[in-house]
Amino acid sequence: MKEKILVTGGTGYIGSHTVVELQNAGYEVVIVDNLSNSNADVVDSIEQISGIRPAFEKLDCLNLAGLDAVFAKYQGIKAIIHFAASKAVGESVQKPLLYYRNNLGSLINLLELMPKYGVEGIVFSSSCTVYGQPDQLPVTEEAPIKKAESPYGNTKQINEEIIRDYVASGAPIQAILLRYFNPIGAHPSALLGELPNGVPQNLVPYLTQTAIGIREKLSVFGDDYNTPDGSCIRDFINVVDLAKAHVVAIGRMLEGKQADKVEVFNIGTGRGVSVLELIHGFEEATGVKLNYQIVGRRAGDIEQVWANPERANKVLGWKAETNIEDTLRSAWNWQLKLRERGIQ
Ligand code: NAD
Ligand code: WQD
């Protein structure tokens, strides 16, 4: 058995896939999640896939004493992967204090406890949202951080700064900031996937819910952008590929290979795919016809962004492997499985 890793938000969408990959790689996992956006039965699915049941503590990361007790109970936690956060962009505009409190407070609590328990490092879930609309594409990690479009985006920028400031103060920790592009898809077993609360705001869950008949029509927000087909362009990254990036980041950190105490990596495919291309790709990959219509632009949308993932490719030795057709099929299989289970 390799080192013990604390995964906050480990029953969530990206966290659950990452726990599976960590366990497959031999790490021992302790999950902390308050279940505000996930279900405890995800732990069963993780066990079903990997054959190992991770330790699970239902706890809010804002609860400092509770977190302290977790570190005391599971002696020897070597590193943290910090997924736990509120993540809905629109909601963050309506409830900024909830977002600032949850996303900043949770990180601060973890950082504060790390030296006390000898935790060596933290991998933080950042986002391509920190780049806004980049001046140059594909975007590299050196691109300037633009003013955040939402309180959610701002929490990611501030969290990155909090980590940098803490390390600069001499705190005995290291950090890896992973800037995810657009994670989509589900585990190939269809036992894990994204479970949006209410009406999905993100493209792929809305698309699969439309395909299965929960939603009547998918709205494509704008076809008058300055892109080849007029719709927005994103870098859609398979969630299992994304999960694997965390495993290599943890390995690098714990093997003492970091060149800097804080490192940052883009985690994307390097390929831009338009919204219309994605829709047509889904239809081809699944044989399911999609009801969609072009409507006006959505406020706050970035026209186009995709990653230059060369640093992650070279330094981490990580590369996105899954093609978009397989990824879209996995999202569809997950949606079918949800119906089978009577969930959505
Ligand atoms: P998710 O909502 O599925 O998972 C987050 C998990 O954290 C949930 O299980 C939730 O219950 C838990 N959680 C939230 N606040 C908590 C708290 N205070 N204490 C304990 N648990 C708490 O979201 P996700 O898509 O898996 O995202 C994971 C991380 O990746 C987040 O930090 C998110 O901001 C970041 N991220 C996500 C995307 C994306 O498009 N999904 C893109 C870039 C970055
Ligand atoms: C993708 C494209 C929409 C829904 C968000 C956050 C970002 C990051 C990832 C966490 C856009 C279009 C969507 C629909 C559509 N999260 N669309 N019809 O906006 O790139 O990024 O999630 O850090 O911070 O902002 O993702 O999936 O919402 O949209 O046409 O019903 O699909 O306009 O062009 P986005 P998304």
pLDDT tens, position by position, 276-335: 999 999 999 999 999 999 999 999 999 999 999 999 999 999 999 999 999 999 999 999
For residue 152, indicate whether it is catalytic: yes
Q: Which residues are near ligand 1 (CB < 6 Å)?
A: 8-9, 11-15, 32-38, 60-62, 83-87, 102, 106, 125, 127, 180, 182-183
| pLDDT tier for residue 197 given thresholds of 50, 70 and 90 | confident
**Closest ligand 2 atom, CA of 298?**
33
Percent of the chain clearing pLDDT 90 (strictly above): 97
pLDDT at 237: 98
Q: How far apart are CA 181 and CA 166, in angstroms?
A: 25
User: Is pLDDT above 90 for 40?
Assistant: yes
Segments making up each domain of the chain, as ranges: 4-184+237-267
- What class does CATH assign to 4-184+237-267? alpha beta
Distance of CA 84 from the midpoint of ligand 1 (Å): 5
pLDDT per residue as tens digits for the range 77-96 = 999 999 999 999 999 999 99
Distance of CA 236 from the midpoint of ligand 2 (Å): 10
Determine the residue of 128, 298, 303, 327 to mutate for testing ligand 2's pocket, defined as the one with the most ligand atoms within 8 A of the Cβ atom: 298
**Closest ligand 1 atom, CA of 84?**
7
Distance of CA 206 from the midpoint of ligand 2 (Å): 10
Ligand nearest to the CA of 242: 1
| pLDDT tier for residue 158 given thresholds of 50, 70 and 90 | very high
Q: Is 274 helix (H, G, I), strand (E, B) or coil?
A: strand
| pLDDT tier for residue 196 given thresholds of 50, 70 and 90 | confident
User: Is pLDDT above 80 for 241?
Assistant: yes
pLDDT at 180: 98
pLDDT at 36: 97
No. of H helices and E strands in the chain?
A: 11, 13
185 sits in the region (left: phi over 0; alpha: psi -120 to 50; else beta) called left
pTM of the model: 0.99
Q: For 126-258, where are the alpha helices, taking DSSP H only? A: 151-168, 203-211, 239-254
User: Is pLDDT above 90 for 344?
Assistant: no
Distance of CA 219 from the midpoint of ligand 2 (Å): 12
**Closest ligand 2 atom, CA of 218?**
31
Q: How far apart are CA 149 and CA 261, in angstroms?
A: 28
Mean pLDDT of all residues belonging to the chain:
97
Given the residues 13, 99, 152, 166, the one annotated as active site: 152
